[in-house]
Structure 1
Amino acid sequence: MDKIERLLVFGDIHGKWERFLNVYQKVGFNPEHDLMVFLGDYLDRGENPVPVMEWVLEHFGSKNMIFLRGNHEQMFYEALRDESLKDGLVDFRIESPKYLWGDNGGKETYRAMEETGRLKELTTTWMRLIEKMPLYAEVEAEGHKYWFVHADCNPEQPLENQRAKTLLWSRNLAKYPSLHQGEQIIVLGHTPVQALRLGSKPCWLSQGRLVLMDTGSFLENGHISCANLLTKEVWQSN
């Protein structure tokens, strides 16, 4: 792509299929002119994760679409990677990957997958997909460098040198935006703006160099949000 006309980013979806589709249709993505980055957490908590899973499977690898891995994809992967499915999510060891995933919204995803009658197929295809999902993306547009990660990063370290646990789980920049003194624009999901008492829309902090995109998709008063980072135009679910 010679010139990106719209640099689009989606916040966390969390199995809210209808809300996601509502926003995606509003945006009118054009792969010839737009670049769209998804920040991860496609699954869990929401009541309709399977259509989201199937949509991501269908579009992964499409022109000018980037799908990052979130901590919920990581939990899914670790819970089901080496575990038998015959016992479902029954595991009373609090430290186990199965328990962690199930207790953080995985039960809803697992139940929805079971109801399709294609549990094994969906699990296998999604596991393979997660393995392909990058933990970060770096994009240059209109003279700025953009860093996309699901949860957090150290602005002073190259992305390729950062710990996966930080990229997937931490919340330092979201809680303490002043930690970012660099020139790159860092775009995060993972931490709902509602938890930080910042309203319910994407937030530009640190003189616009830190963007928070998780707008509480699974909350009653939450939204799924997409933003054009070049203009700060925002689309949200109804």
Structure 2
Amino acid sequence: MARTLAIGDIHGGLKGLKQVLERAAVQSDDLLVFLGDYVDGWSDSAQTIDFLIDLKTRQNCIFIRGNHDELVSDWLKTHKTNETWLNHGGISSIKSYQSYSEAQRKEHLEFYEALENYHIDVANRMYVHAGFQNHNGPEYEHHSTAFYWDRTFWEMAVGLDKSLKPDDLEYPKRLTHHREIFIGHTPVTRINRDVPTQMANVWNVDTGAAFYGKLSVIDVDTKEFWQSDPLYKLYPDEDGRNA
């Protein structure tokens, strides 16, 4: 039976991605929903995009836009950098593109520009990198950058009074529009977790692969999940975003 699998933040860790897809025993009819941040971190950022472009030719995939994907896309278009980006994985992405031709960079730009801000499936599950701010739902969002930059969505879910029910007046309206929401962006390691973590109806699949954590894949129906080895063990001579 075909599965829908959500994949957490990769951050240039192609070795971890290949490993975890193998451990999840991905089949040709599975739908893979990538939650963004394919780049900025380990040394295989550009190579990760190559892999995903090829994967799309033989696998049903949905690619969500992450904030780091937007940063690399902007750099490819403008050649402009900023210190904050460079200090949060940008240097590794620039290095990974050093040998790439203009034609290859153009192909990658087309990939970045085709990324979706969010996806809602037939079961009313939402997939988004970070979240959204408009209480009336994502379709009313005034600032598209919220979909891949906002951290208040996860913070709201983590800090929610666990005794509240969805029909309580105090319950956050943003959490009432979808059956479940699958996100990345903010590593669950920040709350001392190392596996895909549920808060209210929000599932965070970012298990810290950019740092000392693992890359995770979760079956959105059964909640079974698979993880790579910690990425620093797969890239022992690198620091990822720990530098």
Q: TM-score, normalised by structure 1?
A: 0.82
1:175 is the counterpart of 2:172: no
Asked if 2 retains the 8 angstrom alpha-carbon contact of 1:113 and 1:122, the reply is no
Aligned position for 2:7: 10
Q: Mapping of 1:99-178 within 5 angstroms?
A: 99-114=83-98, 117-141=99-123, 145-154=124-133, 156-162=135-141, 163-177=143-157, 178=160
Q: Give the 3 Å change call, closer, same or farther, for CA 151–181 of structure 1 in structure 2.
A: closer
Shift of 1:119: 4.7
| Cα pair 2:65 2:116 within 8 Å, conserved | yes
Alpha-carbon offset, residue 58 of structure 1: 1.1
Corresponding position: 1:228 with 2:222: no
1:54 aligns with 2:54: no
SS in 2 for 1:231: coil
Deviations 1:16-37 (A, max 9, x none): 11111110111122243x2210
**Matched position secondary structure for 1:164:** coil
Structure 1 residue 53: Cα displacement: 1.6
**Alpha carbons of structure 1 residues 149 and 61: separation in structure 2 relative to 1, 3 Å:** farther
Partner SS for 2:78: coil
For residue 186 of structure 1, what is the aligned residue in structure 2?
A: 181
1:75 aligns with 2:67: no
1:153–1:62 Cα change, 3 Å: farther
Name the CA distance, whole Å, in 1 between partners of 2:67 and 2:196: 20
Compute the displacement of 1:136 (Å).
Answer: 0.6
Q: How far apart in 1 are the matches of 2:49 and 2:78?
A: 21
Find 2:38's aligned residue among 42, 65, 76: 42
Evaluate the alpha carbon distance shift between residue 174 and residue 49 of structure 1 in structure 2; reply closer, same or farther with a 3 A threshold.
Answer: same
Residues of 1 paired with 2:86 and 2:101: CA distance? 15
Q: 1:119 and 1:104 mapped to 2: Cα distance?
A: 25
SS at match of 1:81: helix
Q: Post-superposition shift, 1:77?
A: 1.6
User: When the two structures are aligned, how many residues end up with a matched partner?
Assistant: 213
How far apart are residue 183 of structure 1 and its match? Answer: 5.2
Q: In the aligned structure 2, how far is the partner of 1:104 from the partner of 1:139?
A: 32
1:212 Cα deviation (Å)? 0.4
Is it true that 1:30 corresponds to 2:31 in the alignment?
Answer: no
1:218 is aligned to 2:210: yes
Q: Is the 8 A contact 1:155 1:182 kept in 2?
A: no
1:66 to 2:62 alignment:
yes
The answer (yes or no) to whether the contact 2:9–2:210 under 8 Å persists in 1 is no
Superposition deviation, residue 160 in structure 1: 2.9
SS in 1 for 2:105: helix
- In terms of mean alpha carbon deviation, does 149-158 or 69-78 score higher? 149-158
Q: Any gaps of 5 or more consecutive residues in structure 1? A: 84-95
**Aligned-residue RMSD, C-alpha:** 2.0
Going from structure 1 to structure 2, the CA distance change for 1:133 and 1:181 (only over 3 Å counts) comes to: closer
Deviation, structure 1 residue 6: 1.8
* Post-superposition CA distance 1:62-102 (Å, at most 9, x none): 5521011110110112223123xxxxxxxxxxxx6544432
The residue type paired with residue 230 of structure 1 is D
Unaligned ranges ≥5, structure 2: 161-171, 230-243
Code of the residue aligned with 2:224 in structure 1: it is E
